[in-house]
Structure 1
Amino acid sequence: MDTSRWYRSFAEVEARGNSEVYEEWGNGVSEDPAVLALIDRLPEPRRQPNLIFGASRHLGAPVAPYASFRRWLRENWSAVEQLARIRTTQTNEAGRAAVLLPVLGLLKGPLSLIEVGASAGLCLYPDRYSFLYDGTKYLHPVDGPSTVLLECATTGSPPIPERVPDVVYRAGIDLNPLDVGDTDDMRWLESLVWPEQDHRRQRLRDAAALARVDPPHLVRGDLTAAVADLVRRAPQNTTVVVYHSAVLNYLTLTAREEFAETVRALPCHWIANEGLGVLPEVDAKLTASPEARRGKFVVSLDGTPRGLAGGHGQSLDWLDQTRTAPAG
């Protein structure tokens, strides 16, 4: 994608209404030939706005109007470029568990959860978080309210389960797994949280603290190559679920197709939470209007769209009233 258009789209579709700072920065970069020339020195996957802005803030960029950010970025570009080449946007948003929970609730437990592109594994704990849907419907772990509360606004009457899932196995795959006990890894994750979103930053800290008590089993590797082994390792007599959020967009179309073919052949369910255009065969089944889809992720179960979600799990528009799915 043309870098200027990429940053303009980021500003207008993703940042607008969520971060005034990033909206201004995205628009500013899109119209700035000198800064675009710097960013274009990176391989295309490394040019993404979240990565450049996150790396900049990790290195001390001021949360300030674009003119100040531009000046800082040009003066510190060498360090930003170096960091952008070794880090990735491993945004580990625990809030996304809120849009996955209704889909998990359709499946017969106990569950074995396997997340690909797991980052630090914070989305592997849907049984350890508390949830609040539409400001009225609370759902807590079996041992009582959690220190992490995930709020989600819904439409379309999603099938909110009566209890959190029974999770007996959790594992994740990432090219570069992050350690919830490593200070620099946690600083990097905080840098990826958008400037004004202090609630997400605190949620990240709380979720990481919870995960440190019982760290997830994360393996380093390519998601397509490693997923089958983790599925085989899952306990017998459990429903195995492979899932991911905002991960496949970092793969080429061919690699996405290879992953989809691999996971479909495994004895598991597959939940995807990805942006529009990432899984064309899933998008083709959508009946929602283009306006309803704008800026949303598509939540699907075994290739069938079930909902349209806010990128950080803040909303879920349910598309299917079916409340059952084949058990694994």
Structure 2
Amino acid sequence: MTAADWYVDFAERQARGVFPTYERLSLGVARDDELLALLETVPPPKRQPNLLFAVVQWLSGPVHDYERFRAFVVAEWPRVSAELRVRATQTNEIGRSALLLPVLAALPQPLALIEVGASAGLNLYPDKYRYRYGDTTLGSSGPELDCDATGLTPPTALPEIVWRAGIDLNPLDITDPGDRGWLEALIWPEHDHRRERFRQAAAIAAADPPRLIRGDLVDDLPALLAEAPADATRVVFHTSVLYQVPENRRRAFVKLIGTLPVHWLSAEDPGTIEYAGLPAPPPDGRHKNVLALDGKPLAWTEGHGRSLSWFGA
């Protein structure tokens, strides 16, 4: 996929009709030969649309007008490209906890959680948030996560979590102002509700910071898993992470996870993991991820956790 194709796909399948700022920017970049040529000077993974837009926000550049955005990127390209090379879309969207919760609540309790690609670890606190699935609500404190769930009987209780940890190549410190600022820059401009939820979740995590280690999802996961209490159900999970992992390392991770005494919970792009018996996605033309447990697909999901279409057992 060329950079132009990537930006068109992002506009049409992720931003179209719901995120107008990034839809306009994506379509503008896709038609802009000068910006596309600049993007060709950074490694392919660093040409990602929402990474570029987040970097511009991080550098206090304009994103609401394409011409001003374009002028900023061209004039500040040395700064923009430097940030692209060292940054990643560590979005840490807590709305994804609403996708994980039905599975976590159904597993034998209590749970020990390990998140792969944890960023600042905000999705390690699914027991601290409130949830709304249609007319069903759970939890009494924390930010409220609203998920349009179909084909699913929502859980009736929050999971009991007795241990939580995460692993990331570049873990972020939720108590560090710079790291928090980058996480806020990753939130899309129209999403004031996500920004407020993030701040509430950040306060929860800062009051009891998670155990996060800097490490590789294959090389360092077994040692971290060995720290988890043996009398808890151990769950390794990740959301929208594997697309950033080289294919050979993805395959090594999938092979490794099958040898570990854990449940494996994932919400990932269907192109990153091979699934048997995967039904067609909802016919709305939007990008969907697959929620799966132990490699068995359960539901189609929206990337930020806004919707879930259950088809599994």
Same fold (TM over 0.5): yes
Tell me the equivalent position of 2:110: 110
Tell me the equivalent position of 2:181: 187
2:293 to 301, 306, 309: 301
**Aligned pair 1:274/2:273, yes or no?**
no
**Aligned pair 1:78/2:71, yes or no?**
no
Measure, in 2, the Cα distance between the counterparts of 1:95 and 1:276. Answer: 19
1:150 to 145, 150, 155: 145
Measure, in 2, the Cα distance between the counterparts of 1:159 and 1:302. Answer: 20
Residue type of the partner of 1:240?
R
Measure, in 1, the Cα distance between the counterparts of 2:250 and 2:283. Answer: 26
Q: Deviations over 1:67-109 (max 9, x none)?
A: 2211111111111111111111100101100000011122101
TM-fit CA distance, 1:138: 0.8
TM-fit CA distance, 1:289: 4.5
1:287-326 alignment runs, 5 A limit: 287-289=279-281, 291=283, 294-320=286-312, 322=313
Measure, in 2, the Cα distance between the counterparts of 1:60 and 1:242. Answer: 36
Contact 1:110 1:239 in 2 (8 A): yes
Tell me the equivalent position of 2:226: 232
More displaced 10-residue stretch of structure 1: 9-18 or 212-221: 9-18
Give the % identical residues.
47
Residue type of the partner of 1:41?
T
Measure, in 2, the Cα distance between the counterparts of 1:210 and 1:117. Answer: 19
Q: Deviations over 1:281-306 (max 9, x none)?
A: 22x42123473674111000001111
Measure, in 2, the Cα distance between the counterparts of 1:261 and 1:99. Answer: 24
Measure, in 2, the Cα distance between the counterparts of 1:220 and 1:293. Answer: 37
**Aligned pair 1:285/2:274, yes or no?**
no
- Describe the SS at the equivalent of 2:220: helix
Tell me the equivalent position of 1:164: 158
Q: Deviations over 1:11-54 (max 9, x none)?
A: 11111133101001101111111000111100111111111110
Moved over 3 A (4+): none
Unaligned runs of 5+ in 1: 323-328
- Describe the SS at the equivalent of 1:272: strand
TM-score by length of 2: 0.97
1:176 to 170, 173, 176: 170
Contact 2:98 2:145 in 1 (8 A): yes
Residue type of the partner of 1:151?
D
TM-fit CA distance, 1:214: 0.7
- Describe the SS at the equivalent of 2:196: helix
Q: Deviations over 1:224-265 (max 9, x none)?
A: 111111211110111100000010000122111100011111
- Describe the SS at the equivalent of 2:300: strand
**Aligned pair 1:254/2:248, yes or no?**
yes
TM-fit CA distance, 1:161: 1.7
**Aligned pair 1:138/2:137, yes or no?**
yes
Contact 1:94 1:122 in 2 (8 A): yes
Contact 2:150 2:309 in 1 (8 A): yes
More displaced 10-residue stretch of structure 1: 158-167 or 123-132: 158-167
**Aligned pair 1:31/2:31, yes or no?**
yes
Contact 1:293 1:308 in 2 (8 A): no
Q: Deviations over 1:172-210 (max 9, x none)?
A: 000111011000100100000001111111111110001
**Aligned pair 1:57/2:76, yes or no?**
no
Tell me the equivalent position of 1:200: 194
